[in-house]
């Protein structure tokens, strides 16, 4: 289902209601004041009208049928990958990726969301320093490749709107003094214009200097660079920048985006004298972008990527109706890792029990690994500093690395563990049987699949890639440990061997995914109750609406056998016989108690028989 390439102005022009116009004005007035807002409202209306003129009748009909409460269902599972992570022969990377997923391993049977990390031309940071937001990197493929993928997958695009590349035309024109690009970056005439006190207040995910020196037509300038000297923060105090971002967002929709991930959105608005993270202006910008989509593309969702402490992270849901529909669950990965290291699910269960879902239109993106590794900000205040240090030591013993972030007031702290998920859980050459490692790996993934939300799996986390520290030693980039190219021929060779690591993992994991996608109990809005059965297990009950097919999901997070006795009262479900869909066995409830015996790292998903 595609938009028209050119706008058709013979069809009726979009009529924007007074209520919608007032909301756009309100957001702009908050950011820029009422006088400036009045000047810019017409530009945002124009962008919406142009976007509307690209729509076919089929798209308009689809938008009329959107049900926000069922935007995501139990059938939604996302695969996260770089466009060129898979190395194939005789194809462009995007074409090769699509063919591999569809025709070689057939994951499109159980995975319906495809998140290709930034696929635009870039100058550094593995795609996150974009030189041109409106074109596909020709080394990867073309918009036609993306369009073909939209026929089989819901596509997630990256909105890397926090910064642009120093190699981009826009920044170069700013240096040239072009009036159209004036004030697109945050510029100081001297590094001393940012005082030591202001520098100490900053909270950012890097330890490099916040200001980078460049030479412009007017002489040397110092530019705000949150992430690296090559990544120039956009100046959202300039309404032109926000208008351009809104137009780019709508263009992504026309190119096939069903979800747009707002990368590092925490740092969108910078303000000297503040931490320049999680500022109220940032939330207001997200509300405006949400408003633009609600008016112009109600079938498209915003996803915020904010690797910050949990309470700050969930603030990006807004009131449940006005910011992101989905938020990265950054607490889950380190908490699951801690759970498997300690073989104690107590803290995981306690945290999961307290999770709040602001509305039936919002949910979590339940990831265990990303292209960066395992972020640590999400467990601040949940795990003690000693528990975090223990986790870091264990991961490093498995070949992982650690990245640090700058603190307000000076100093630094661990920000993320750079590792593959399999490598974090399993040491290489330690004598453990491969089957046990595969079971541990899949058991950990089962938690993200059962927990309320939409699961996301990074490509290396789908196939069980281990840690190879030599990759980092060669490149000097810690995150590269989880970005090693995957050679298709090697995967296909492993796929022919049922005893290979790949097949021991994939067979188990695809089975779980197949079960999940056909059980309404795993709908993101289905009821969730966490059970306290034993520190050895993470257990929950998911109950759909109507409550016809509840699921009891239990994962043994330990390397020990576990015998559970679960009372009918604890279950809250009146059933005498149960069927375990994973192990394919029947379990009877005797005298109002369900006896469940689990081997190390067993996963049991039971339904009333």
Q: Catalytic amino acids?
A: 263
**Is residue 555 a contact partner of residue 603, using CB atoms and an 8 Å limit?**
yes
Give the H/E segment covering residue 20. helix 18-32
Cα–chain-centroid distance for residue 89? 29
**Length of the chain in residues, anyone?**
609
Beta strands in 336-377 (DSSP E): 363-367, 374-375
**Is residue 378 a contact partner of residue 330, using CB atoms and an 8 Å limit?**
yes
The partner residues of 531 in beta bridges, in order of sequence, read 539
Burial 497-534 (b: 16+ CB within 10 A, else e): eeebbbbbbbebbbbbbebbbebbbbbbbbebbbbebb
Grouping H, G, I as helix, E, B as strand and the rest as coil, residue 95 is helix
| Phi, psi dihedral angles at 445 (to 5 degrees) | -70, -30
Grouping H, G, I as helix, E, B as strand and the rest as coil, residue 360 is coil
**Is residue 535 a contact partner of residue 344, using CB atoms and an 8 Å limit?**
yes
| Beta-strand pair 78-81/454-458 | parallel
Helices of type H across 354-484: 385-397, 421-425, 434-450, 459-463, 469-475
Beta strands in 176-331 (DSSP E): 187-188, 211-216, 219-224, 231-233, 257-262, 301-304, 326-328
CA distance 177 to 221: 12
Helices of type H across 499-601: 501-516, 568-571
Within 13 Å, how many C-alpha atoms sit on residue 111's CB side?
25
Which strands form 585-590's sheet, in the order they lie side by side? 527-531, 537-543, 551-556, 603-608, 577-580, 585-590, 593-598, 562-567
Within 13 Å, how many C-alpha atoms sit on residue 56's CB side?
9
Count helices and strands in the chain by DSSP H and E runs: 20, 28
At a CB cut-off of 8 Å and minimum separation 6, what does 474 contact? none
């Amino acid at each position: 289902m595609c938009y028209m390439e050119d706008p058709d102005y013979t069809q009726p022009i979009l009529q924007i209601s007074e209520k919608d116009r007032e909301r756009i004005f309100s957001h702009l007035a908050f950011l820029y004041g009422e006088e400036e807002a009045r000047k810019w409202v017409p530009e945002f209306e124009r962008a919406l009208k142009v976007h509307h003129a690209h729509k076919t009748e089929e798209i308009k009909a689809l938008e009329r049928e959107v049900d926000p409460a069922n935007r995501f269902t139990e059938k939604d599972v996302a695969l996260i990958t770089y466009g060129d992570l898979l190395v194939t022969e005789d194809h462009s990377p995007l074409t090769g990726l699509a063919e591999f997923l569809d025709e070689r391993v057939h994951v499109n049977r159980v995975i319906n969301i495809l998140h290709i990390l930034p696929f635009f031309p870039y100058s550094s940071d593995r795609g996150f320093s974009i030189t041109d937001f409106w074109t596909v990197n020709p080394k990867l493929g073309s918009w036609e490749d993306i369009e073909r993928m939209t026929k089989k997958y819901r596509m997630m695009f990256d909105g890397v709107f926090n910064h642009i590349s120093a190699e981009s035309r826009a920044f170069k024109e700013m240096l040239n003094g072009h009036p159209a690009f004036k004030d697109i970056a945050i510029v100081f005439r001297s590094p001393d214009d940012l005082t030591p006190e202001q520098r100490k207040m900053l909270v950012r995910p890097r330890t490099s200097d916040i200001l980078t020196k460049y030479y412009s037509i007017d002489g040397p300038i110092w530019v705000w660079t949150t992430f690296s000297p090559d990544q120039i923060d956009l100046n959202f105090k300039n309404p032109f920048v926000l208008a351009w971002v809104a137009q780019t967002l709508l263009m992504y929709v026309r190119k096939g985006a069903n979800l747009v991930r707002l990368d590092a959105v925490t740092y969108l608005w910078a303000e000297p004298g503040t931490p320049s993270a999680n500022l109220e202006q940032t939330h207001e910008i997200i509300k405006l972008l949400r408003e633009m989509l609600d008016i112009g593309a109600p079938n498209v969702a915003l996803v915020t990527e904010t690797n910050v402490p949990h309470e700050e992270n969930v603030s990006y849901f807004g009131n449940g109706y006005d910011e992101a529909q989905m938020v990265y669950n950054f607490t889950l990965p380190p908490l699951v890792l801690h759970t498997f290291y300690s073989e104690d699910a107590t803290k995981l269960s306690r945290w999961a029990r307290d999770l709040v879902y602001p509305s039936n239109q919002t949910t979590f993106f339940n990831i265990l690994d990303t292209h960066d590794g395992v972020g640590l900000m999400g467990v601040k205040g949940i795990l003690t500093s000693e528990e975090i240090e223990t986790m870091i030591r264990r991961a490093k013993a498995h070949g992982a690395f650690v990245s640090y972030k700058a603190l307000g007031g000076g100093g630094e702290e661990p920000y993320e563990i750079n590792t593959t998920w399999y490598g974090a859980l399993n040491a290489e050459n330690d004598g453990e049987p491969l089957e046990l490692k595969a079971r541990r790996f899949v058991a950990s993934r089962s938690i993200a699949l059962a927990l309320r939300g939409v699961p996301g799996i990074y490509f290396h986390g789908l196939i069980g890639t281990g840690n190879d520290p030599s990759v980092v030693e060669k490149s000097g980039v810690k995150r590269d440990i989880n970005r090693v190219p995957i050679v298709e021929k090697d995967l296909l060779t492993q796929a022919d061997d049922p005893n290979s690591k790949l097949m021991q993992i994939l067979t188990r994991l695809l089975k779980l995914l197949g079960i999940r996608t056909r059980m309404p109990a795993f709908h993101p809005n289905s009821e969730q109750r966490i059970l306290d059965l034993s520190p050895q297990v993470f257990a929950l009950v998911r109950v759909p609406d109507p409550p016809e097919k509840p699921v009891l999901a239990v994962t043994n997070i330990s390397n020990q056998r576990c015998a559970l006795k679960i009372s009918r009262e604890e279950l809250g479900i009146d059933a005498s016989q149960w069927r375990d869909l994973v192990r394919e066995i029947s379990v009877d409830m005797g005298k109002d108690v369900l006896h469940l015996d689990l081997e190390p790292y067993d996963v049991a998903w039971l339904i009333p028989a």
